[in-house]
């Protein structure tokens, strides 16, 4: 890199762009995008508007989910010949629920240096203001569009004890919150973050039984782009040990049955939650190994 240049030859730069507020377009991101010889962009028209507004005249090439594999080859050929290129998404960080993975993977496989120019990402922005534990979290991205598949996915996620993050669009936000309430129950807290960094930014942390009425109370609240930050399930406490009778029953059933059936029968007989028996049964199996 020369003193006047921010880019190295033959290098791929993965560059974040604003998710709303143009003030979040970092000076380094602008310089790198102005100095590379080509920018791969998800939607060239959207990106052209952003780049032109900042005086960046670098040519753009479309790299989206339908042409990414073919484009990866072309971009790679140019990188190998010593050109430096950049990858951007419509907004935020490429590869985060956006195209770019195929190109980055191909560059790495070919030994091409890949550098980051980090910046806005809606998931991280929402997590940083949600007020929910952030020491461990899971990025879920978009949930399935159809209700049955969405609920199924939510059932898979329901037991996670760490925070998880969902992207949602305006036309599904109400249905999505209704499904979250149905699957996770009324007390689970969710932070709904909408229009982050934009004029009508809002974020509301509340139990689902309050959040859904909050969303429905004002049609404006259903507009724009959304991130949902979901509180993890309460971990099972060690003092949740089964009563002695129930424990004996479970042990007896486990001599004849697999853990899931033993747990179901013990729960039906005692009226205690099946999950408690099931976890205990798995624990016993592990102890006995």
Could you list the residues that contact ligand SAM (CB under 6 A)? 19-20, 89, 91-93, 96-98, 121-123, 167-169, 193-198, 225-227
Which residue's C-beta sits nearest to ligand SAM?
Answer: 92
Structure tokens, 97 = 């629920």
Cα distance between residue 75 and residue 182, in whole Å: 46
Q: How far apart are CB 171 and ligand SAM at their closest, in Å?
A: 10
Nearer to ligand SAM, 32 or 246 (CB): 32
What the block records as the tokens of 220 is 């404006």
Smallest gap from residue 179 Cβ to ligand SAM (A): 16
Q: Report the C-alpha gap between 165 and 140 in whole angstroms.
A: 6
CB of 16 to ligand SAM, least distance (A): 7
Task: Indicate the residue among 168 and 253 with the shorter CB distance to ligand SAM.
Answer: 168
Least CB distance to ligand SAM at residue 277 (A) = 38
For ligand SAM, the closer CB: 191 or 259:
191
3-state secondary structure of 85: strand
The whole-angstrom separation of Cα 247 and Cα 116 is 54
| 132 vs 227, beta carbon nearer ligand SAM | 227
Q: How many residues does the chain have?
A: 289
| Smallest separation (angstroms) from ligand SAM to the CB of 206 | 17
23 or 111: CB nearest ligand SAM: 23
Cα-to-chain-centroid distance, residue 255 = 42
Give the closest residue to 175 by CA, choosing from 220, 138, 215: 215
Which residue in this structure is represented by tokens 């329901």? 158
Q: Measured from the CB atom, is 225 or 231 closer to ligand SAM?
A: 225
Task: Report how far apart, in Å, the C-alpha atoms of 252 and of each of 153, 158, 257, 275, 277 are.
Answer: 34, 30, 9, 18, 12
Minimum CB separation from ligand SAM for residue 18, in Å?
9
């Amino acid at each position: 890199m020369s003193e006047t240049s921010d880019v190295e030859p033959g290098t791929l730069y993965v560059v974040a762009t604003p998710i709303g507020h143009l003030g979040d377009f970092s000076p380094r991101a602008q310089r790198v995008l102005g100095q590379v010889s080509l920018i791969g962009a998800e939607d060239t028209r959207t990106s052209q508007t952003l780049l032109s507004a900042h005086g960046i005249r670098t040519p753009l090439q479309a790299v989206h989910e339908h042409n990414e594999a073919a484009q990866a080859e072309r971009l790679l050929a140019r990188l190998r010949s010593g050109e430096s290129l950049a990858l951007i998404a419509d907004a935020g960080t490429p590869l985060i629920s956006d195209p770019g993975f195929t190109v980055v993977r191909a560059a790495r496989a070919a030994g091409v240096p890949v550098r980051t120019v980090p910046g806005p990402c809606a998931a991280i922005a929402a997590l940083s203001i949600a007020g929910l534990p952030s020491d461990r979290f899971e990025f879920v991205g978009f949930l399935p569009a159809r209700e049955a598949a969405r609920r199924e996915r939510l059932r898979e996620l329901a037991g996670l004890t760490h925070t998880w993050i969902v992207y949602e669009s305006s036309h599904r936000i109400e249905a999505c919150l209704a499904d979250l309430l149905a699957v996770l129950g009324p007390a689970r807290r969710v932070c709904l973050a909408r229009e982050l960094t934009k004029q009508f930014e809002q974020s509301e942390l509340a139990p689902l039984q309050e959040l859904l009425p909050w969303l429905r109370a004002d049609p404006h609240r259903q507009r724009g782009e959304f991130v949902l930050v979901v509180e993890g399930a309460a971990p099972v406490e060690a003092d949740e040990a089964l009563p002695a009778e129930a424990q004996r029953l479970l042990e007896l059933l486990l001599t004849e049955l697999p853990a899931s059936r033993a747990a179901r029968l013990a729960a039906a007989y005692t009226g205690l939650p099946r999950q408690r028996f099931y976890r205990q049964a798995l624990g016993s199996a592990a102890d006995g190994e």
